[in-house]
Amino acid sequence: MIQGHDLRPLVVHVVFRFDVGGLENGVANLINHMPPDAYRHAVVSLTEITDFRRRILRQDVQFIALKKAPGHTFWLYPRLFALFRELRPAIVHSRNLAALEAVVPAWAAGVPVRIHGEHGRDVGDLDGSSRKYQWVRRCYRPFVTHYMALSRDLAHYLTSTIGFSQATVAQIYNGVDTRRFHPAPLRPPIAGCPFADPGYWLVGTVGRMQVVKNQTALAQAFIRTLAAFPDLESRLRLVMVGDGPLRVQAQALLQRAGVAGLAWLPGERDDVPEILRGLDCFVLPSLSEGISNTILEAMASGLPVIATDVGGNGELIEAGRTGELVRVADVEAMAQKIAAYAMSPLLARTVGQAGRIRAEREFSMEAMSERYQGLYDSLLKSRAGQSGSKALICR
C-alpha cells in the first residue's frame, strides 16, 4: 500500500523462501545499498520469511510470507493478484525458477514492469539441459518484461539455449561489501574454533551444506591432501561452516579417515566476516553456481580461492592470479591446489591480495546498486513512454 504521499516507485522482490542463502543475501545487499530516495521495497516470500530479514537494515521495507504449501503456485494466484493490486508496485522482480510463476498474477494485476532474475541452477538441473525447465521458461515469456542474469554464463543460457532476445536480457554481477568483508593484518582466531594457534594453516568454506554445494568433496580433498603430503598434518586444519544434510556426511567421511580431530564443523554461524578473516584459504566445491556471494566475500577478505569451474565462478576468479579453478568433483586436483597454497603461505597471501584488489575494483556494492537502479529506471522510463506516466502505478 502506498505510504501517505510517498511517490517513490515500489519494487516487490518475490522469492521462494527468504532465508540464509546467496540469492537472498543479494536481495538484502541490493536493498541496503540502493539510495533510499530512489525506490521503496517489499519482500514477498511464497513460503517463509525467517530471521534473515534482519540482514535488511532499512526500516521502510515490508515483509510478506504467503506460507505456500507444496505444489503448483497456481493456487496462490488469487492472493498474489490481490496483493499486487493492494501494493500497486511499479516493478515486480521475481528470482529463480521457483518464483517465476509470480509474473502471471503481476501481469494480470497490471504491474507495469515484471523482471525475472536468473541467479543459478539447483541440483535438479545443474547444466541447464532439462527440456522441462527450458519449456517452463519459454511458457512464461509473455508475462516477463525483462530478464536479469547474474553471470555471463546464465545470460548466454537465456539467449542461446532458451532463445530469448539479447535486448530483453541484462547481466549484472553481485556486489560485495568491501567494508564489512576485509582482510586482517594478522589472522585473528575464530570464536569457538579449536585451531587458534597461529602456527595452523586453515582451509575452509562457508555456506548451506546442501547437495548442490558438494562440501563432501572438500572433506575428501582434505583427507587426500593429508595422505599425499603427510608433513602438512601438523598444521593443516579444515573449517566447514554451515548446516544441512551434507554436514553429517562430511563428518562421517572425516571420522572414517581418522582426521575428524583436525576439522571443525560448527554448523550455521552469523559471524561470517570474522570467520573468513580467520581463514588462510577458501574453497567452494559446488556442482553449480550463478555468481557466488561467498567467493566475492572471500576475495574481499583477502583469501586465495579454490573453486570448481562451474557457472560464473570462472568470471570471478582469475586462475593463477586470484585463485584456482578445478573440475567438478576433481578431489585430486583440489587436494593439489590446497597443498600448493599450504606449503607456500607467501604465495597464498599474494594471491589473496590480488583477489581483494579485484573485488574492490570490479565488484563493489556501489557498482551493483547503480546497475540495478539504472535497469529499473530505464525500464520504467520505457514503459512510461509506451503507456503514459500513469503506467508507473497499477490501477
Query: CATH number for the domain including 310?
Result: 3.40.50.2000
- Whether residue 184 lies inside any domain: the answer is no
Total structural domains within the chain? 2
Amino acid at 265: L
Q: Could you give the C-alpha distances from 116 to 12, 15, 47, 54, in angstroms and in order? A: 12, 11, 18, 24
Give the whole-angstrom CA distance, residue 394 versus residue 205.
45
Is 59 found in the same domain as 87? Answer: yes
If phi > 0 it is left, if psi is from -120 to 50 it is alpha, else beta; for residue 320 that is left
Is 250 found in the same domain as 119? Answer: no
Distant-in-sequence, close-in-space partners of 65: CB < 8 Å, separation ≥ 6:
18, 45, 47, 48, 49
Grid cell digits, residue 127: 547444466
Distant-in-sequence, close-in-space partners of 257: CB < 8 Å, separation ≥ 6:
223
Is 247 found in the same domain as 287? Answer: yes
Is 232 found in the same domain as 124? Answer: no
Is 41 found in the same domain as 58? Answer: yes
Under DSSP, is residue 352 helix (H, G, I), strand (E, B) or coil? helix
pLDDT at position 392? 39
pLDDT at position 3? 52
> What DSSP assignment string belongs to 289-304?
-SS-HHHHHHHHTT--
Q: Please report how many Cα atoms fall inside a 13 Å half-sphere around the Cα of residue 327, on the Cβ side.
A: 4
Handedness of CA 99, 104, 110, 115 (dihedral sign): positive
Distant-in-sequence, close-in-space partners of 232: CB < 8 Å, separation ≥ 6:
201, 225, 226, 339, 342, 343
- Each of the 395 residues of the chain gets a pLDDT tens digit; together they read 445 578 899 999 999 999 988 899 999 999 999 999 999 999 999 999 999 999 999 999 999 999 998 877 788 999 999 999 999 999 999 999 999 999 999 999 999 999 999 998 877 888 889 999 999 999 999 999 999 999 999 999 999 999 999 999 999 999 999 999 999 999 999 999 999 999 999 999 999 999 999 999 999 999 999 999 999 999 999 999 999 999 999 999 999 999 999 999 999 999 999 999 999 999 999 999 988 999 999 999 999 999 999 999 999 999 999 999 999 999 999 999 999 999 999 999 999 999 999 999 999 999 999 999 999 999 999 988 776 444 333 33
pLDDT at position 66? 96
pLDDT at position 390? 42
- Whether residue 182 lies inside any domain: the answer is no
- Print the domain residue range for 103: 10-175+364-392
Is 340 found in the same domain as 373? Answer: no
- Whether residue 183 lies inside any domain: the answer is no
Is 244 found in the same domain as 155? Answer: no
Is 217 found in the same domain as 249? Answer: yes
- Whether residue 341 lies inside any domain: the answer is yes
- Whether residue 87 lies inside any domain: the answer is yes
* Whether the Cβ atoms of residue 332 and residue 304 lie closer than 8 Å to each other: no
Is 302 found in the same domain as 244? Answer: yes
* Whether the Cβ atoms of residue 102 and residue 78 lie closer than 8 Å to each other: no
Q: Cα angle vertex 273, ends 270, 278, to 5°?
A: 110
Grid cell digits, residue 47: 513460503
What 8-state DSSP symbol labels residue 371?
H
Give, for 379, the enclosing helix (H) or strand (E): helix 365-387
- Whether residue 151 lies inside any domain: the answer is yes
Give the whole-angstrom CA distance, residue 279 versus residue 188.
9
| 41 bridge partner residues | 11
- Whether residue 340 lies inside any domain: the answer is yes
Is 239 found in the same domain as 287? Answer: yes
- Whether residue 162 lies inside any domain: the answer is yes
| Phi, psi angles (nearest 5°) of residue 231 | -65, -20
Is 110 found in the same domain as 75? Answer: yes
Give the whole-angstrom CA distance, residue 199 versus residue 187.
10
Give the whole-angstrom CA distance, residue 364 versus residue 358.
9
Q: Please report how many Cα atoms fall inside a 13 Å half-sphere around the Cα of residue 33, on the Cβ side.
A: 23
Q: Cα angle vertex 261, ends 259, 263, to 5°?
A: 80
Is 132 found in the same domain as 51? Answer: yes
Under DSSP, is residue 279 helix (H, G, I), strand (E, B) or coil? coil
Give the whole-angstrom CA distance, residue 189 versus residue 149.
37
Grid cell digits, residue 48: 517463509
